[in-house]
Chains A and B, each alone.
Chain A
Amino acid sequence: MPNFTINGMSATVAEGTTILAAAKQIGIEIPHYCYHPRLSIAGNCRMCLVEVEKFPKLQIACNTVVTEGMVVRTDTAKVNKAVTGVLELMLINHPVDCPICDQAGECGLQNYYMKFGLHKSRFAIEDKVHKKKVQDIGGQIVLDAERCILCSRCVRFLREVTKTGELDFFQRGDHSEISIFPGRPLDNSYTGNLADICPVGALTSKDFRFKCRVWFLSGVESICPGCSTGCNIEAHFREDVLYRLKPRENEDVNESWMCDEGRLEYKKANENRLLAPALREGGRTVAAAWDAVLFTTAHRLRGSVEAHGSDSVAVIASPHSSNEELFLVRKLAAEVLKTENFGFTSRTPGPRSSDDFLIKADKNPNSRGAQLLGFSEEKFDRIVKAISGGKVQALLLFGNVLADFSDAEIGSLLSNVPFVAHVGTCAGAVSRAAHAVLPSSSFVERGGTFTNFAGRVQRFRAGFPPRGKAKNDIEILVGLASQLGAGWAFPGETAVFDALAAEVAPFAGMSYEALGSRGRLAGGSK
């Protein structure tokens, strides 16, 4: 555990810590481009030069290990001149086309120029080396070779993380550029990360390209709803439109990465939304007031129980619902409707691709939570059989369930049920067949927790209020329970989580606030 001094401050750090990492630990930021904590050390950008006592030359902080008694300075005139000098050199051949660059606003060159540069250009504009712009190199990525500062993060990412190695360096000197090999585009499931790790505008996202200036975006901590891995993400939105998802670091789940499939999950929160509560009257679905829809749904559920017994109602939950919502769904079914007919399905349409890194075949964020909260897929199969046999009189459906059924199958299946209520975010065959539509909120419009495949309970947060007239699911469930005569007092997801932690064994001892940014493992999980 060497003790060292940096800018006059002393600190003790773990053996083998580099100056750059050690400085970060005590709140001193050393500028850098090529260094990335999850990639090997390249040492090529030369931005992190620092003065180390007893070394005649400036040393790169990213590759110099702290030793006992080392004295480091990052604030001397010599260091400043060096950093400014490197930055100037980095910019001489850069096109400075910020006005048409997507990276503007979150660009390493812009940020450090404001901090260390602010110099006037001493380089003749006609002397700039030109390289190829707007190259579609495959995956989700567009390459602009001219903007590239050749830090090699992307090359190292593709060698070390995906192990696919599609990008490499070509040419020499100031004609050096990164590129794919002829006819060999990016071919892996994690290409979007390249745009994230690129410190400049060389690698940008094809999907996000020219959609929105980043300074208009707000971000919220979230969990990717695309599969059961539960990658930690930041969801970026403007007003009530989601624009992009970016990975957020969680050592225990996704390190700093996310997959390309998950990155496009944001579209589902924008498209095809159910925005107004509705009731079907005389074969047509018409908008109705929330009170009326909640009343009708509760009335029909209760009526069915009263007339045909509790076996005549059924509840199908969604693995896209949060633990809190599932807890209330179960409570509603078991305690209020007093039925055993509640289940869930994790089946989804489309390919169930998976790999040994972040992509899981289960394309739901909370199947594990549903299981821990007592929902089973066998029960779901029995419910479907009961529906087909005409034994279900009233059905409450959550989310995009039955997604693996064709529209025709859904239509014919649900035609067996006299009353179907759908609590969901997206319009489709289920909402079209439903007698009551209760529009709910997407994953960025509400807060809660998901339990990932490994049993890790992780929080996602609300970025903006539910769109249109849609409501938070907890509010809908509390409203239904109240119409059904249960006196639930759950003002929000925190209260629900506390009740859940008190009642459901695997969640015992957890508190909503204490989940932190890395989540906690549910009891019995490894």
Chain B
Amino acid sequence: MERVLTTHFADDRYRHVDAYVETGGYSALRKALGMPKEEIVAEVRKANLRGRGGAGFPAGVKWGFLPKDLSRPRVLVVNADEGEPGTFKDRLIMSRGPHLLVEGIAISSFAMTIHVCYIYIRGEFVREAKILEEAIGEAHAKGFLGKNILGSGFDLDVYVHRGAGAYICGEETSLINSLEGKRGWPRNKPPFPAAIGAFGLPTIVNNVETISDVPWIVANGGERFAAMGVEKNGGTRLIGVSGAVNRPGVYELPAGVNLRDIIYEHAGGIKDGKELKAVIPGGSSTPVLRPGEIDVAYDIESMARIGSASGSGGVIVIPEGACMVRALMVLMNFYSHESCGQCTPCREGTGWLAKIVRRIEEGKGLEGDVELILDVCDNMMGRTICPLSEAAVMPAQSFVWKFREEFDRHIKDQKCPYGNKF
């Protein structure tokens, strides 16, 4: 099977420019610099490259939102604030193939006439930030970045900006605020970043994996990329499988691969020969699936049809014997801790949900608590500036809908049937 990103990831030298160039690296940049810019954008459109951060917005379409006039400088921001629980794919790209990202940045920037790029990287990724800095330095030295790139007259500077540890800064407008040195609060839209983004300038925010796919698309053509996947979902996906599987890790698989195959073939099936209980398919905010629902193509449309999402590609596998109330409690604690506090429903609602779920798990659940969870969810859904509120609601609702009997039993027995203690 053909791979776009991870072919050489086993090679430790691949993170350095020489080894990267030996495998054909930066030839796509050279090619792009000789192409009309519109043609590059057209290839990306043809590739059906969908944003890999979670929302799955078509990258080529997003690029087209930049205002036509070039009177104001534009900014490219790479969202490397990978923080969705269960998701650890961008980290792999940055640590094993940083030049894929650098080359992708150079090509994308050239295509969009952008001369400055910020990589906003999760604060905890200290090692990855260092590797990126090193890669950027090497690229500069080789003339792949900086002034007059490869004699084309095109200039580009790339800066690595480390975040300060807030999940919310992965949301593109709060990322921009944080980049500007402000509190990481999402902005009201409109205006969208393409019109008014970082430092008031037209800005495109793309995920690490999205941008890293661009060199392959330019080198091999958008149609070939599209053909690797399924309809409307081009290329491969980096899928991080975690939880109770025999071989947890990141797998590069074609978009539209069967979810059951991801878990049972690629990740080696459930650990200790256990049965599967549940799957959170695309990062912690995507609705949970029951074992009977996992025979599904792992692409954006197919997953949406069954009421969930492939999101950021983080598959969390939950085995039999695990307490779903406990699992939801962990998630609710996360969202209430990470709510930025700006909008009332999310600020207050995430904390409330966490408290209700905790008391159920503690054996202190009250009659009506399950209905209360659903009603609080209803009051949080679609009521806020950014999707964090929904990110908390989707697991809460789906856990309750699909594992209702576990919640009821906790409340009836006034204890966790799995014997979990505090």
Contact surface of A with B, Cβ cutoff 8 Å? 41-47, 49, 56-58, 60, 63, 81-82, 85-86, 88-90, 92-93, 122-124, 127, 129, 149-150, 168-169, 171-176
- CB of A169 within 8 A of CB of B382, answer no
Q: CA A171 – CA B341 in complex, angstroms?
A: 8
Whole-angstrom distance between the Cβ of A523 and the nearest chain B Cβ? 45
Whole-angstrom distance between the Cβ of B329 and the nearest chain A Cβ? 15
Task: Specify which of A57, A81, A89, A123 is in contact with B344 (CB 8 Å cutoff).
Answer: A89
Whole-angstrom distance between the Cβ of A159 and the nearest chain B Cβ? 11
Task: Specify which of B339, B355, B379, B383 is in contact with A172 (CB 8 Å cutoff).
Answer: B339
Tell me which residues across on chain B come within 8 A of A171, comparing CB atoms. Answer: 341
- CB of B382 within 8 A of CB of A173, answer no
Tell me which residues across on chain A come within 8 A of B336, comparing CB atoms. Answer: 173-174
- CB of A127 within 8 A of CB of B355, answer yes
- CB of B383 within 8 A of CB of A43, answer no
- CB of A44 within 8 A of CB of B339, answer no
Q: CA A63 – CA B187 in complex, angstroms?
A: 12
Indicate with 1 or 0, residue by residue over B318-361, a CB within 8 angstroms of chain A CB atoms.
00000000000000000011111111110111111001000000
- CB of B350 within 8 A of CB of A174, answer yes
Question: Count of A-B contacts with CB under 8 A?
Answer: 93
- CB of B383 within 8 A of CB of A150, answer no
Tell me which residues across on chain B come within 8 A of A81, comparing CB atoms. Answer: 378-379
Contact surface of B with A, Cβ cutoff 8 Å? 166, 168, 183, 188, 336-345, 347-352, 355, 372, 376, 378-380, 382-385
Q: CA A85 – CA B338 in complex, angstroms?
A: 21
- CB of A57 within 8 A of CB of B382, answer yes
> Assuming the A-B contacts A44-B344, A44-B385, are A173 and B339 also in contact, with contact meaning beta carbons closer than 8 angstroms in the complex?
yes
- CB of B351 within 8 A of CB of A44, answer no
Nearest CB in chain A to that of B336: its residue = A173
Tell me which residues across on chain B come within 8 A of A127, comparing CB atoms. Answer: 352, 355
- CB of A82 within 8 A of CB of B344, answer no
Whole-angstrom distance between the Cβ of A501 and the nearest chain B Cβ? 50
> Assuming the A-B contacts A44-B343, A150-B347, A173-B347, are A49 and B383 also in contact, with contact meaning beta carbons closer than 8 angstroms in the complex?
yes
**From B168, B348, B372, B384, residue with most partner A Cβ within 10 Å:** B348
> Assuming the A-B contacts A172-B340, A173-B337, are A86 and B345 also in contact, with contact meaning beta carbons closer than 8 angstroms in the complex?
yes
Q: CA A43 – CA B340 in complex, angstroms?
A: 14
Whole-angstrom distance between the Cβ of A324 and the nearest chain B Cβ? 50
- CB of B352 within 8 A of CB of A173, answer no
Q: CA A85 – CA B336 in complex, angstroms?
A: 18
Task: Specify which of A41, A47, A90, A174 is in contact with B341 (CB 8 Å cutoff).
Answer: A174
Whole-angstrom distance between the Cβ of A125 and the nearest chain B Cβ? 12
**When A and B form their complex, which 6 residue pairs have the shortest distance between CB atoms, in order from nearest?**
A85-B379, A176-B341, A174-B351, A89-B348, A173-B339, A57-B382
Q: CA A43 – CA B173 in complex, angstroms?
A: 14
Q: CA A180 – CA B154 in complex, angstroms?
A: 46
> Assuming the A-B contacts A43-B385, A173-B337, A173-B338, are A86 and B344 also in contact, with contact meaning beta carbons closer than 8 angstroms in the complex?
yes
Nearest CB in chain A to that of B339: its residue = A173
Q: CA A42 – CA B351 in complex, angstroms?
A: 22
Tell me which residues across on chain A come within 8 A of B340, comparing CB atoms. Answer: 172-173, 176
- CB of A85 within 8 A of CB of B341, answer no
> Assuming the A-B contacts A149-B344, A173-B339, A174-B336, are A46 and B352 also in contact, with contact meaning beta carbons closer than 8 angstroms in the complex?
no
17 additional A-B pairs beyond A82-B383, A173-B340, beta carbons within 8 Å, are A42-B188, A44-B342, A44-B385, A45-B343, A46-B384, A81-B379, A82-B379, A85-B345, A85-B379, A85-B383, A86-B344, A89-B349, A89-B352, A172-B166, A173-B336, A173-B338, A176-B340
Task: Specify which of A60, A92, A172 is in contact with B338 (CB 8 Å cutoff).
Answer: A172
- CB of B341 within 8 A of CB of A63, answer no
Say whether chain B's binding surface is mostly helix, strand, loop, or mixed. Answer: helix
- CB of B337 within 8 A of CB of A172, answer yes
Q: CA A89 – CA B349 in complex, angstroms?
A: 7
Cβ contacts A to B, 29 pairs, < 8 Å = A44-B342, A44-B343, A44-B344, A45-B344, A47-B344, A49-B383, A56-B382, A82-B379, A85-B345, A86-B379, A89-B347, A89-B352, A90-B348, A92-B348, A93-B351, A123-B352, A124-B355, A129-B351, A149-B344, A150-B341, A172-B166, A172-B337, A172-B338, A172-B339, A172-B341, A173-B339, A173-B351, A175-B341, A176-B347
Tell me which residues across on chain A come within 8 A of B188, comparing CB atoms. Answer: 41-43, 60, 63
Q: CA A257 – CA B384 in complex, angstroms?
A: 31
Q: CA A85 – CA B344 in complex, angstroms?
A: 10
- CB of B383 within 8 A of CB of A58, answer yes
Tell me which residues across on chain A come within 8 A of B385, comparing CB atoms. Answer: 43-44
- CB of A88 within 8 A of CB of B379, answer yes
- CB of A169 within 8 A of CB of B348, answer no
Tell me which residues across on chain B come within 8 A of A82, comparing CB atoms. Answer: 379, 383
- CB of B341 within 8 A of CB of A58, answer no
Whole-angstrom distance between the Cβ of B156 and the nearest chain A Cβ? 34
Nearest CB in chain A to that of B349: its residue = A89
Nearest CB in chain B to that of A88: its residue = B379
- CB of A89 within 8 A of CB of B379, answer yes
> Assuming the A-B contacts A41-B188, A173-B351, are A90 and B344 also in contact, with contact meaning beta carbons closer than 8 angstroms in the complex?
yes
Whole-angstrom distance between the Cβ of B95 and the nearest chain A Cβ? 28
Tell me which residues across on chain A come within 8 A of B342, comparing CB atoms. Answer: 44, 150
Tell me which residues across on chain A come within 8 A of B344, comparing CB atoms. Answer: 44-47, 86, 89-90, 149-150
- CB of B348 within 8 A of CB of A93, answer yes
Whole-angstrom distance between the Cβ of A21 and the nearest chain B Cβ? 16
Q: CA A42 – CA B336 in complex, angstroms?
A: 21
Tell me which residues across on chain A come within 8 A of B337, comparing CB atoms. Answer: 172-173
Whole-angstrom distance between the Cβ of A422 and the nearest chain B Cβ? 58
Tell me which residues across on chain B come within 8 A of A169, comparing CB atoms. Answer: 183, 341
**From B337, B341, B342, B344, residue with most partner A Cβ within 10 Å:** B344
Tell me which residues across on chain B come within 8 A of A45, comparing CB atoms. Answer: 343-344
**From B336, B339, B347, B384, residue with most partner A Cβ within 10 Å:** B347
Q: CA A413 – CA B362 in complex, angstroms?
A: 84
Tell me which residues across on chain B come within 8 A of A43, comparing CB atoms. Answer: 188, 385
Whole-angstrom distance between the Cβ of B361 and the nearest chain A Cβ? 15
Whole-angstrom distance between the Cβ of B177 and the nearest chain A Cβ? 12
Q: CA A57 – CA B343 in complex, angstroms?
A: 16
Q: CA A81 – CA B345 in complex, angstroms?
A: 13
**From A41, A58, A82, residue with most partner B Cβ within 10 Å:** A82
Tell me which residues across on chain B come within 8 A of A150, comparing CB atoms. Answer: 341-342, 344, 347
Q: CA A171 – CA B342 in complex, angstroms?
A: 11
Q: CA A487 – CA B188 in complex, angstroms?
A: 68
Nearest CB in chain B to that of A171: its residue = B341
Nearest CB in chain A to that of B368: its residue = A122
Q: CA A335 – CA B188 in complex, angstroms?
A: 67
